[in-house]
C-alpha cells in the first residue's frame, strides 16, 4: 500500500534492530507502527514540558521532505 507520509531512516546496530523487532513482535505491532508510536509519545512528552511546537510550513511533499520551522 502506497503512502504519502514522510519516512524516517536511520542506521542502528544489528543487535538494537533485533531487540527492537522483538519488542514489536511481543506487542503485536509492526516495526513501523512501534516507531511511529514512540515518535508520537516523544513529541507529546516534549510539548508537555516545552509547549506546543509551532510548524510554519508543514507541506513536506512540496518541500521534498523538508519542514521549515
Q: Which three cell numbers stand for residue 30?
A: 509492526
Q: Structure pTM?
A: 0.73
Q: φ and ψ at 63, to 5 degrees?
A: -90, 10
User: What number is the average pLDDT over the span 23-36?
Assistant: 97
Q: Which three cell numbers stand for residue 34?
A: 512501534
| Integer Cα distance of 69 and 62 in angstroms | 15
Sequence ranges of the domains in the chain: 12-69
Residue 66 CA from chain centroid, whole number: 15
Q: Using 50, 70 and 90 to split pLDDT, how confident is the model at 65?
A: low
The rounded percent of the chain whose pLDDT value lies above 70 is: 80
Amino acid at each position: 500500500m502506497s503512502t504519502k507520509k514522510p519516512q524516517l531512516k536511520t542506521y542502528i546496530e544489528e543487535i538494537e534492530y533485533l531487540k527492537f523487532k522483538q519488542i514489536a513482535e511481543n506487542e503485536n505491532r509492526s516495526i513501523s507502527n512501534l516507531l511511529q508510536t514512540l515518535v508520537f509519545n516523544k513529541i507529546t512528552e516534549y510539548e508537555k514540558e516545552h509547549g506546543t511546537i509551532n510548524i510554519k510550513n508543514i507541506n513536506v511533499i512540496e518541500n521534498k521532505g523538508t519542514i521549515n520551522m
